[in-house]
Amino acid sequence: MRTAEIARKTNETEITVSVNLDGTGTHDIATGIGFFDHMLDQLSRHSLVDMTVRAKGDLHIDFHHTAEDVGIALGQAIREALGDKKGICRYASADLPMDGTLTRAAIDVSGRPFLVWKVGFTRDKVGEFDTELFQEFFQAFAMNAGITLHVETFYGDNNHHVAESAFKAVARALRTAVEIDPRVSDRVPSTKGTL
């Protein structure tokens, strides 16, 4: 089983995350931030990664610490669950249409973390969630998962759909990238022999 559980406690947040990379997208998410929970639900459901996320943060200040620290913990859990990465597909991309919005996500489970974020919003908030925090979440996630992640929205006017298409696109790419390729299940997908 490719599973992991991470507990992270700081003066700003207290977070526990568990993942199963070989799941069915079962999720139980509670961060105290409704729209963020909705996006994490989508990430789990469409990646088929089972996720449990519990977060208590300093929401009376703002949502920044909770969003970033959930990204850190979730990224660490994904990285731990991947183990030596033997047999994974490694690379994947997904184009995700959502009504009038189109977003692409491309992933390399490289061990070399990097984020390219080309997603624009026309409002400062979706629900009560600051739109700038989507990038903060994915930055923390990519750095701690050890993945190269590119996310680009080509067009879209509805800010809810822009955010949701980004999470769903990342989910679909993540699903393929971490799947085991039965043709090379005994090999790390790198000429270096390690990722």
Q: What is the largest CA-CA distance in the chain?
A: 51
Residue 168 included in any domain: yes
What are the tens digits of pLDDT across the range 108-165?
A: 999 999 999 999 999 999 999 999 999 999 999 999 999 999 999 999 999 999 999 9
Distance between first and last Cα of the chain: 19
Whether the predicted model's global pTM rises above the 0.75 cut = yes
Burial code (b: 16+ CB inside 10 Å, e: under 16) for 153-164 equals beebeebbbbbb
DSSP letters for 118-143: E---SSSEETTEETHHHHHHHHHHHH
Residue 193 included in any domain: no
Residue 195 included in any domain: no
Reported as a pLDDT band with limits 50, 70 and 90, residue 185 is confident
Residue 163 included in any domain: yes
For residue 192, the model assigns a pLDDT of 83
| Average pLDDT for 184-192 | 87
Residue 84 included in any domain: yes
Reported as a pLDDT band with limits 50, 70 and 90, residue 190 is confident
Residue-number span of the structural domain to which 17 is assigned: 3-184
What are the tens digits of pLDDT across the range 54-70?
A: 999 999 999 999 999 99
Residue 60 included in any domain: yes
CA angle 40, 49, 75 (to 5 degrees): 65
CATH at 98: 3.30.230.40
Residue 189 included in any domain: no
How many domains does one find in the chain?
A: 1
Residue 194 included in any domain: no
How many whole angstroms separate alpha carbon 136 and alpha carbon 94?
21
If DSSP codes are grouped into helix, strand and coil, which group holds residue 2? coil
